[in-house]
């Protein structure tokens, strides 16, 4: 795997230079640049200069959160750095890979960088093989856990977390959003049937009165997406009459 092109974004020059120095001494990272504001960073990202962004949250003109919302590509991921712990949950809501509290030690930086490497390796292996990826990495209890996509039945949103329900009955809870999960999972295999649930289409085997049956769980399909849901099922050769 080639080094991950990494952009550092921080309106505090000293803080930015510290993170940039960490990037330069990490073998699997390549420093693509150091930006002092979000607008400059957005230009660099749109030009394809970087895939991994270490980004401060509180910045003038364009905050780190606002910047990340403008970048939707799964090929670009953010790791936030900030002095304020209350922003941690917001960071995961916008699909950040990790969150680092300032002052950032190299040990904590390297842990976040390793998680980024695992993520990009999963993308790279799927692309190089010509097949869709078979697993995703989820942060569960502070650890990155590899989950086989084929094992996932459905995903439930619970406040700032998601519960990933698997075929073996296990449930993994991760600080993430359904939007983030949709970005991680292969397109066309999962469908968001309502605000709080996303289901694996090929695992839908029984329905009752507009509700999907997974064991004891009954998941209602929203009226707004019902037609699209049945169309998606039919494309998988799954038809309910």
Residue range 222-239: mean pLDDT, rounded: 86
pLDDT at 133: 57
Domain of 191, in residue numbers: 135-235
Residue 241 lies in a domain: no
Residue 200 lies in a domain: yes
Q: Are residues 121 and 148 both part of a single domain?
A: no
Distance CA 214, CA 171 (A): 13
**Paired sense of beta strands 29-35 and 4-9, if any:** parallel
pLDDT at 213: 94
Work out the percent of the chain whose per-residue pLDDT is above 70.
90
Neighbouring CB atoms inside 10 A of 50's CB total: 24
Work out the percent of the chain whose per-residue pLDDT is above 90.
51
* pLDDT classification of 89: cutoffs 50, 70, 90: very low
Residue range 19-47: mean pLDDT, rounded: 93
Radius of gyration of the chain from its Cα atoms, rounded to whole angstroms: 19
pLDDT at 92: 47
Q: Are residues 26 and 112 both part of a single domain?
A: yes
CATH of the domain at 179: 2.40.50.1020
Tell me the C-alpha to C-alpha distance, in Å, between residue 221 and each of 115, 172, 209: 34, 23, 10
Q: Which of 180, 196, 191, 177 has its CA nearest to residue 227?
A: 191
Q: Are residues 145 and 113 both part of a single domain?
A: no
Distance CA 239, CA 191 (A): 15
Residues 75/50, Cβ–Cβ less than 8 Å = no
* pLDDT classification of 132: cutoffs 50, 70, 90: low
Q: Which of 166, 174, 113 has its CA nearest to residue 100?
A: 113
Q: Quickly list DSSP for the chain.
A: -PPEEEEEE-SSHHHHHHHHHHHHT-TTEEEEEEESSHHHHHHHHHTT--SEEEEES--SSS-HHHHHHT---TT-EEEEEES-GGGHHHHHHTT-SEEEESSPPHHHHHHHHHHHHHHHHHHHHHHHHTS---EEEEEETTEEEEEEGGGEEEEEEETTEEEEEETTS-EEEES--HHHHHHHSPTTTEEEEETTEEEEGGG---EETTEEEETTEEEEPPGGGHHHHHHHHHHTT----
* pLDDT classification of 224: cutoffs 50, 70, 90: very high
Residue 19 lies in a domain: yes
Q: Are residues 104 and 214 both part of a single domain?
A: no
Residue 185 lies in a domain: yes
Residue range 126-144: mean pLDDT, rounded: 65
The verdict on pTM exceeding 0.85 is: no
pLDDT of 182-212, one tens digit each? 877 887 899 999 999 999 999 999 999 889 9
Residue 240 lies in a domain: no
Q: Are residues 79 and 108 both part of a single domain?
A: yes
Looking at the structure of the chain, the number of domains it has is 2
Q: Are residues 108 and 149 both part of a single domain?
A: no
- Whether omega for the bond prior to residue 103 falls within 30 degrees of 0, making it cis, is yes
Q: Are residues 10 and 113 both part of a single domain?
A: yes
Q: Is the pLDDT of residue 34 over 80?
A: yes
pLDDT at 127: 44
pLDDT at 98: 85
* pLDDT classification of 85: cutoffs 50, 70, 90: low
Residue 36 lies in a domain: yes
Q: Are residues 178 and 113 both part of a single domain?
A: no
Distance CA 206, CA 111 (A): 42
Q: Which of 58, 135, 138, 44 has its CA nearest to residue 91?
A: 58
| Boundary of a domain, candidates 99, 129, 159 | 129
């Amino acid at each position: 795997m080639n080094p991950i092109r990494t952009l550092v974004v921080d309106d505090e020059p000293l803080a930015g230079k510290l993170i940039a120095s960490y990037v330069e001494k990490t073998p699997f990272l390549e420093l693509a640049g150091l930006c002092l504001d979000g607008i400059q960073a957005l230009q660099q990202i749109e030009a394809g200069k970087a895939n991994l962004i270490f980004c401060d949250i509180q910045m003038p003109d364009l905050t780190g959160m606002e910047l990340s919302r403008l970048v939707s590509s799964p090929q670009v991921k953010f790791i936030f750095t900030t002095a304020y712990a209350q922003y941690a949950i917001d960071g995961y809501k916008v699909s950040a890979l990790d969150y680092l509290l300032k002052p950032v030690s190299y040990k904590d930086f390297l842990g976040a960088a390793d998680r980024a490497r695992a993520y990009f390796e999963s993308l790279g292996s799927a692309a190089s093989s010509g097949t869709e990826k078979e697993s995703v990495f989820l942060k569960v209890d502070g650890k990155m856990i590899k989950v086989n996509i084929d094992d996932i039945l459905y995903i439930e949103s619970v406040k700032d977390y998601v519960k990933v329900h698997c075929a073996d009955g296990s449930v993994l809870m991760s600080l993430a959003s359904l939007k983030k999960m949709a970005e991680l999972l292969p397109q066309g295999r999962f469908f968001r049937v309502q605000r709080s649930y996303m289901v694996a289409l090929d695992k839908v085997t029984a329905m009752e009165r507009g509700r999907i049956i997974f064991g004891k769980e009954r998941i209602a399909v929203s009226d707004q997406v019902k037609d699209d849901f049945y169309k998606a099922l039919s494309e998988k050769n799954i038809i309910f009459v």
